[in-house]
Amino acid sequence: MNPFKVFVVEDDPFYGEMLKYHISLNPDYVVEKFETGKDFLHNLYKNPSVISLDYSLPDMSGLEVLKKVKEFNPEIPVIIVSGQEDVSTAVILLKEGAYDYFVKDDDTKDRIWNALKNIREKVELEKEIDVLKEEIGKKYKFGNIIKGNSPEIKNIFSLIDKAIGTNITVSIAGETGTGKDLVAKAIHYNSPRAKYPYVAINVSAIPKDLIESELFGSEKGAYTGAFTRKLGKFEEAGKGTLFLDEIGEMEMNMQAKLLRVLQERELTRIGGHQLVKVEARILVATNRNLAEEVQKGNFRQDLYYRLLGLPIYLPPLRDRGNDILLLAKHFVDEFCDENGIPKKTISQHAQEKLLGYSYPGNARELKAMMELATVMSNGTVIEETNISYSSPNRSNDFMLDAEDTLVGYNRKIIRYYLDKYDKNIINVAKKLDIGKSTIYRMMKNNEL
Amino acid sequence: MKKMKTQKLYDLSQLIEIVGDEEGLLKMVTIFIESTPRTLDELNENFRNKNFEMVAQNAHKMKASIDMMRVVSLHDMIRKIDKLDKVIENQAELKDIISIVNTKLTQVFAELKKEFAL
Ligand SMILES: Nc1ncnc2c1ncn2[C@@H]1O[C@H](COP(=O)(O)OP(=O)(O)OP(=O)(O)O)[C@@H](O)[C@H]1O
Ligand SMILES: [Mg+2]
């Protein structure tokens, strides 16, 4: 723990020494004493935890010194000790950020003692919180939690980096289970807003008629059952981050209200009049194609542009090549760790089987598959037979998809057959009347 | 012993309470005997030069130490000088007060020196 450094600035050597003695009664405090403003300011670089400052120094006024301290580091609490009671000076000093103002009398040392105690407790508490936040932050250091080596995921990392440095709204898109939640958290916990709250709300999970009060809050008596004032998610997030998940599910009239709030940067709670400032950073996510929803008239174009900001598109897992295996191993390791099971590896055949699947549920589905496989496997190796696709009867979705190239269709068809025939390459090659080496080659090149 | 204490011009009980040990007390008393006469000299000098604002400031500085040493007899007087612009109108009265402060403090210094063999 860093020592709690108390600087005593006092031109009266006797009084200064007295304070030093008194404060040093607490063995955790380290006291340094200065008799002039100049001498003190020379030592300010040592960054004291708290300063006790005599208002009338021979070379400078207390106000001057206070201002210099606040310029150096506004966080350092400064207790002003004055020989004389002077209310107007006290008011000015407190306005300039003084922690407190004491008049020198018999109680001064006790008051300073108490002030130090309070300041110290606060500092300790804040430190604890910082440590906790750092831990949470570390948890979300994106390399640690968002796994992947593919060019696709590296591109995502560089976009997250860009998002962290600014306040721009980020719109995260991608199929279900591709990691949109993870990306949102990674942005928040690595941004300067990490010390403020991260508040997530899933639009699709909240009944339509409650969403407005969830977001904006409501005053007491705003509707039947509103017994107290309720803060909305915007206010809860404060200067932090508000993550609006499944934004595509929001109803049109609510979209209009949201747009207004985002434009004005102000809101009123339901049933209230008072304007509340909106300071939170906004992240949104959707697994729909929002541009398409705009075309279809289901999503307001103006809101769409407002929210687009920095778009991050998370490609489906099946397009991330070898990341499938990397993630599979990661999920197995994680599961073993969490359950105190010895580490397991994934056999070659099992790996090939994993690469042959299309993962409509993306990473979430892979995770569930690998957890089950880990449970099913007996030894230390996960075999092909331990892996079962969660959705064996894939619809021939490749027919319904948007237009694709012939090569693209080829891939989709082969994937479909591989799924259907449980990754039996010989079988698939026969059915499609192509060489099995073609399938092997495509697999090796991560084309499937 | 108790009687002695009440006769004294100062009372160190508060100081002892703060500094705790002999060593600390000695240090504080030494500082008092070194620094207060200096301030007193400055005060006298400033008074001679009719620099009343500085006189008040010097008194102001001594006030805390005098209180801490519990020189009760000077408690009110030092405050009068400190606020001289507001309280003391005529210079004659200021002169009297300053001379009493000088006498008393000189006594205090001497007694302290004797008690602590300084
Ligand atoms: N790149 C990745 N590395 C490690 N774990 C991942 C990765 N991507 C996703 N996951 C894990 O997969 C699961 C689903 O991720 P997440 O909840 O972020 O998906 P989502 O895109 O928000 O899905 P939905 O649209 O259904 O809300 C989580 O358990 C998450 O930890
Ligand atoms: Mg999600």
Do B64 and A15 count as a contact with CB atoms less than 8 A apart? yes
A227 to chain B, any CB pair closer than 8 A? The answer is no
What CATH number does the domain containing B81 carry?
A: 1.20.120
Same domain, A216 and A264: yes
Number of domains in chain A: 4
Do B19 and A104 count as a contact with CB atoms less than 8 A apart? no
A84 to chain B, any CB pair closer than 8 A? The answer is yes
Ligand in nearest proximity to the CA of A316 = 1
CA nearest ligand 1 atom 29, residue: A364
ipTM: 0.76
Decide if A137 is inside a domain. Answer: no
Residue pair A6/A23 in contact by the 8 Å Cβ criterion: yes
Q: Among A252-261, A276-285, A416-425, B80-89, whose mean pLDDT is lowest?
A: B80-89
Decide if B4 is inside a domain. Answer: no
Q: A355 φ, ψ to 5°?
A: -70, -20
Residue pair A169/A284 in contact by the 8 Å Cβ criterion: yes
Q: Band of the pLDDT at A249, cuts 50, 70, 90?
A: very high
| Residue A400 clears pLDDT 50, i.e. is over it | no
- Please report residues of A whose CB lies closer than 8 A to that of B19: 18, 21
What CATH number does the domain containing A277 carry?
A: 3.40.50.300
Decide if A41 is inside a domain. Answer: yes
Same domain, A282 and A152: yes
Same domain, A437 and A386: no
DSSP state of A146: S
Decide if A100 is inside a domain. Answer: yes
Do B67 and A11 count as a contact with CB atoms less than 8 A apart? no
Mean pLDDT over all residues of chain A?
Answer: 88
User: What is the rounded distance in angstroms from the CA atom of residue B47 to the CA atom of residue B42?
Assistant: 8
H or E segment and range at residue A164:
helix A151-165
What CATH number does the domain containing A431 carry?
A: 1.10.10
Decide if B47 is inside a domain. Answer: yes
- Predicted pLDDT at B5: 45
Q: A381-420 burial by CB neighbour count: b if 16+ within 10 A, else e?
A: ebbbebbebeeeebeeebeeeeeeeeeeebbbbbbbbbbb
Q: Hey, is A393 helix, strand or coil?
A: coil
Same domain, A157 and A49: no
Alpha-helical (H) ranges within A287-435 are 290-295, 301-308, 323-339, 348-355, 362-376, 397-400, 406-420, 425-432
Which of these three, A132, A154, A186, is where a domain ends? A132
H or E segment and range at residue A31:
strand A29-34
CA distance B90 to chain A (A): 22
Decide if B57 is inside a domain. Answer: yes
Q: What spacing in Å lies between the alpha carbon of A248 and ligand 2's midpoint?
A: 12
- Predicted pLDDT at A395: 43
- Predicted pLDDT at A403: 62
Decide if A138 is inside a domain. Answer: no
Decide if A150 is inside a domain. Answer: yes
Candidates B26, B60, B61, partner chain A, best to mutate (most A CBs within 10 A): B61
**CB pairs under 8 A, 24+ apart, for A341-345?**
A341/A374, A342/A380, A343/A380, A344/A374, A344/A377, A344/A379, A344/A380, A344/A381, A344/A382, A345/A380, A345/A381, A345/A382
CA distance B1 to chain A (A): 25
Decide if B8 is inside a domain. Answer: no
DSSP state of A165: H
CA nearest ligand 1 atom 5, residue: A146
Across the range A55-70, mean pLDDT stands at 90
Same domain, A323 and A303: no
Q: Hey, is A276 helix, strand or coil?
A: strand
Q: Band of the pLDDT at A411, cuts 50, 70, 90?
A: confident
Which chain B residues have any C-beta within 8 angstroms of a chain A C-beta? 14-15, 18-20, 24, 27-28, 31-32, 34-36, 57, 60-65, 67-68, 82
Same domain, A174 and A306: yes
Place of tokens 């030592």: A43
Across the range A210-231, mean pLDDT stands at 84
Decide if B20 is inside a domain. Answer: yes
Do A83 and B24 count as a contact with CB atoms less than 8 A apart? no
What CATH number does the domain containing A323 carry?
A: 1.10.8.60
Residue pair A342/A334 in contact by the 8 Å Cβ criterion: no
Decide if B2 is inside a domain. Answer: no
Structure tokens at B9: 């011009």
List pLDDT tens digits, range B26-82.
888 999 999 999 999 999 999 999 888 888 888 888 888 898 899 988 988 888 887
Residues bordering ligand 2, an ion, CB closer than 5 Å: A 180-181
Q: Among A66-80, A225-239, B37-51, B101-115, whose mean pLDDT is lowest?
A: A225-239
- Please report residues of A whose CB lies closer than 8 A to that of B64: 12, 14-15, 83, 104
CA distance A24 to chain B (A): 9
Same domain, A410 and A384: no
What CATH number does the domain containing A16 carry?
A: 3.40.50.2300
User: Which range marks the domain in which residue B52 is found?
Assistant: 13-115
User: Which range marks the domain in which residue A181 is found?
Assistant: 143-314
User: What is the rounded distance in angstroms from the CA atom of residue B56 to the CA atom of residue A190?
Assistant: 57
Decide if A416 is inside a domain. Answer: yes
**Ligand 1 site: residues with CB under 6 angstroms?**
A 146-148, 174, 176-182, 287, 327, 363-364, 367
Q: Which of B15, B27, B57 faces A56 most closely, judged by CB atoms?
A: B57
Same domain, A10 and A120: yes
Same domain, A128 and A167: no
Q: Band of the pLDDT at A24, cuts 50, 70, 90?
A: confident
- Please count the CA atoms within 13 angstroms of the CA of B96 that sit on its side-chain side: 6
Q: Hey, is A157 helix, strand or coil?
A: helix
Do B28 and A11 count as a contact with CB atoms less than 8 A apart? no
H or E segment and range at residue A198:
strand A198-202
Which of these three, A314, A344, A375, is where a domain ends? A314
Determine the distance from the C-alpha atom of residue A194 to the mean position of all C-alpha atoms in its chain, rounded to a whole number.
6
Q: Band of the pLDDT at A3, cuts 50, 70, 90?
A: confident
Same domain, A120 and A36: yes
Structure tokens at B22: 């002999």
- Predicted pLDDT at A421: 77
Q: Among A120-124, A191-195, A418-422, whose mean pLDDT is lowest?
A: A418-422
Candidates B14, B25, B33, B35, partner chain A, best to mutate (most A CBs within 10 A): B35
User: How much of chain A exceeds pLDDT 70, in percent?
Assistant: 94
Same domain, A414 and A284: no
Number of domains in chain B: 1
Closest CA to A281 of A312, A246, A240, A247: A240
| Residue B1 clears pLDDT 60, i.e. is over it | no
Strand order in the sheet with A29-34: A29-34, A4-9, A50-54, A78-82, A100-103
Same domain, A152 and A109: no
Do B65 and A14 count as a contact with CB atoms less than 8 A apart? yes
Across the range A393-422, mean pLDDT stands at 67
User: What is the rounded distance in angstroms from the CA atom of residue A283 to the CA atom of residue A171?
Assistant: 6
Q: Which of A11, A13, A21 faces B18 most closely, judged by CB atoms?
A: A21
Which of these three, A264, A287, A314, is where a domain ends? A314
